[in-house]
Structure 1
Amino acid sequence: MESTTPESTPRPRRDTRPSEPRPGGTGPRETDSRDAGPRDVSTLPKAHLHLHFTGSMRSATLLELADKYGVHLPDALTGGEPPKLRATDERGWFRFQRLYDIARSCLRAPEDIQRLVREAAEEDVRDGSGWLEIQVDPTSYAPHLGGLIPALEIILDAVDAAAAETGLGMRVVVAANRMKHPLDARTLARLAVRYADRGVVGFGLSNDERRGMARDFDRAFAIARHGGLLAAPHGGELTGPSSVRDCLDDLRAARIGHGVRAAEDPRLLHRLAERGVTCEVCPSSNVALGVYEKPEDVPLRTLFEAGVPMALGADDPLLFGSRLAAQYELARLHHGFTDEELAELARQSVRGSAAPADVRQKLLAGVDAWLAG
């Protein structure tokens, strides 16, 4: 087990000389343009790597679907002030899951899936995203959509249609539920690999990380990795650095969903930076779920200056009230990120994605153009 004793490793130097940025590091910049005024973060090209399927829904769409199917929505889901869920305790997490399950129960037909995916793509394009990897557990939708395989095929068809309509590069991360039996995860991993040529690029593990051990799902992740899928389990959100280490050691994660609690262990930060493991950090979600009290408490600076690659994500905008561009604005307002540093965050999101080389090159060129403009 790794020690939590701080190391005396130097932090990456913030330089202003022109150079190619290091993978996972802050990288040097050509000029400091703060005197030109802040640029619009919604026009900054970026990749979105942490967005859950039902949680991507627009509030207005949920209201319409609930009316269509006669589902009573609690006040927290009717589009008002985002709820304070305090999921760091059992009662808060239960409430979060209950709200999510109610919203998911309103997705019952292929046209509902198609609408959700199209609107999620539209929202991402509006926020400057050029690549989206949306995370879904198809078993949650299978009862209404004719079974597990039809559910995944309907989702993938909807992704293809939305990508063609909006121009957004879009793929799927199939996620197992750690509250279910590991055998269910293996079934999902095999299914995900089967559809790797249809748009599945990764395999995840979601839900309450306080339940179940990461190593219980190692066989499922081995199946996914051997099938060419990126391993992206959740860790380091509701529990501390140990859950991030478990994802690295037991599941051989290439990305970590959230990962912010790694900031509590400098040795772990060094390991993440050295390996170039991207943390999918979701600041608004962290505050809404009570992981941190205030936006300025989210350790964005700690991770960034340790050289840990980050991809800011919206997690569940339906519940947390803000989408992708708002996460970059939060980094600017509450953590003092300059435009050059925001551009580096965008680059890190692109590098951490499963996007093909030509898409990456286009997005990275767009980041440079954003800075030069």
Structure 2
Amino acid sequence: MREICQNRDVRDLSTLPKSHLHLHFTGSLRPESLIDIAHDLGVRLPESLTDNQALRVPADQRGWFRFQRHYDAARAVVRSEASMRRIVRQAAEDDAAEGSRRLEIQVDPTSYAPFVGGITPALEIIVDEAKAASAATGVEVGVIVAASRIRHPLDARTLARLAAQYASDAPGGVVAFGLSNDERAGDTSDFAPAFRLARHAGLPGVPHGGELLGPDHVRQVVAHLKPRRLGHGVRTGEDPALLERLVADGIAFEVCPASNVSLGVYAGPSQVPLRTLIDAGAEIALGADDPLLFHSRLVDQYEIARRDHALSDAQIANLARSSIRASLASDTSKRTWLAEVDAWEASEQ
């Protein structure tokens, strides 16, 4: 990287203040923590989860099945309150080490409910630890409750009602409602009632869309779910008119370059349309998505922006500002962090 950037500014990206808005709960697990937890349970993990190699799959149904199988194998060892708290605390610690000021971590409590007495205790554990981790690390942690496209839409309504009970702007509170899993599954319009329930409780929508499927799917997500941000959304770049509309409507993009490559959407990081989104004036928040599987954390996404998209430090700083503006933090916190980005940009390299 230094050879490529030898004539440009190369400030330390781990000290750049930023927000991390696209991180999944189990997918944030440290590999060594996954191994420790599995060992304590006597569970044998697939070798592909312990070989320190980033997952690479094609962008088709078979590729998604392989990705989901890996994710499910990791999730299957999260069977206790202690392991759930460990995930939240370490996610905040890892973000703190990478200069993140704000983490919005996404979780479907349904997956962990059988081990802790139900979906309500599962969410309470996560919210409680998010509050404690915020105080301990200095990273403001917000929780995004996310429904799954592969479950019945009525389950999404149940989760939206639950999320509404814990909605709070304070660190540790539920700050948004999402929709994840394979974009090709389910009918987007069927999830609209759940998103209406969430909006009525003051929770903006942050569904996935526009990664595995293209602009037509983005239109459906926008029309039916009325998002504040799009999880990924990169395929919007294939339709300039649609992109212009979303930018005008203030819909931000959670862009996860390493994830896009690992899931076969693009052959390499330079093909991710980051500059297309930037040139259109989009608000962008770079995210790691599932670092457990993709072996690429938050700072790595900024390294990709610098190395593969030739962004200067001034442009990198603008990406960080964009991530802060796109977050659901308070205006007071945002002003503080934006001033810190200014200081980073003005600092000597």
Give the TM-score, by structure 2 length. Answer: 0.95
Q: Does 1:241 align with 2:241?
A: no
Provide the C-alpha distance between the structure 2 equivalents of 1:234 and 1:280, rounded to a whole number of angstroms. Answer: 9
Letter aligned with residue 109 of structure 2: P
Provide the C-alpha distance between the structure 2 equivalents of 1:320 and 1:287, rounded to a whole number of angstroms. Answer: 9
Provide the C-alpha distance between the structure 2 equivalents of 1:325 and 1:164, rounded to a whole number of angstroms. Answer: 22
Q: Please give the per-residue CA displacement for 1:3-26, whole angstroms capped at 9, x wherever unaligned.
A: xxxxxxxxxxxxxxxxxxxxxxxx
**Where does structure 1 lack aligned partners over 5 or more consecutive residues?**
1-33
- Please report how far the alpha carbon of residue 44 of structure 1 lies from its aligned counterpart in structure 2 after TM superposition: 0.6
Contact 1:55 1:100 in 2 (8 A): yes
Letter aligned with residue 297 of structure 2: R
What do you get for the CA RMSD once the two structures are aligned?
1.3
Aligned residue in 2 for 1:325: 299
Q: Does 1:275 align with 2:246?
A: no
Contact 1:59 1:79 in 2 (8 A): no
Contact 1:224 1:231 in 2 (8 A): yes
Q: Pick from 185, 206, 226: which aligns with 2:180?
A: 206
Letter aligned with residue 139 of structure 2: L
Contact 1:49 1:280 in 2 (8 A): yes
Contact 1:179 1:212 in 2 (8 A): yes
Contact 2:8 2:312 in 1 (8 A): no
Q: Does 1:84 align with 2:46?
A: no
Map 1:335-346; keep pairs closer than 5 Å: 335-346=309-320
Provide the C-alpha distance between the structure 2 equivalents of 1:74 and 1:304, rounded to a whole number of angstroms. Answer: 39
Contact 2:9 2:312 in 1 (8 A): no
- What SS does structure 2 have at the residue aligned with 1:210? coil
Map 1:163-312; keep pairs closer than 5 Å: 163-197=134-168, 199-312=173-286
- Please report how far the alpha carbon of residue 85 of structure 1 lies from its aligned counterpart in structure 2 after TM superposition: 2.1
Compared CA separation, residues 304 and 36, structure 1 to 2 (3 A): closer
Q: Please give the per-residue CA displacement for 1:319-362, whole angstroms capped at 9, x wherever unaligned.
A: 00011011001000000111111111111111111101111011
Aligned residue in 2 for 1:125: 96
Provide the C-alpha distance between the structure 2 equivalents of 1:120 and 1:258, rounded to a whole number of angstroms. Answer: 20
Provide the C-alpha distance between the structure 2 equivalents of 1:247 and 1:185, rounded to a whole number of angstroms. Answer: 15
Q: Pick from 285, 288, 291: which aligns with 1:314?
A: 288
Contact 1:256 1:278 in 2 (8 A): yes
Q: Does 1:134 align with 2:105?
A: yes
Q: Does 1:42 align with 2:42?
A: no
Aligned residue in 2 for 1:4: none
- Please report how far the alpha carbon of residue 79 of structure 1 lies from its aligned counterpart in structure 2 after TM superposition: 4.4
> Which contiguous aligned blocks of 4+ residues in structure 1 show a shift greater than 4 angstroms?
none
Contact 1:60 1:79 in 2 (8 A): no
Aligned residues: 340
Q: Please give the per-residue CA displacement for 1:126-179, whole angstroms capped at 9, x wherever unaligned.
A: 111000000000001001111010000011111111111111101100000011
Letter aligned with residue 359 of structure 1: S
Letter aligned with residue 164 of structure 1: A
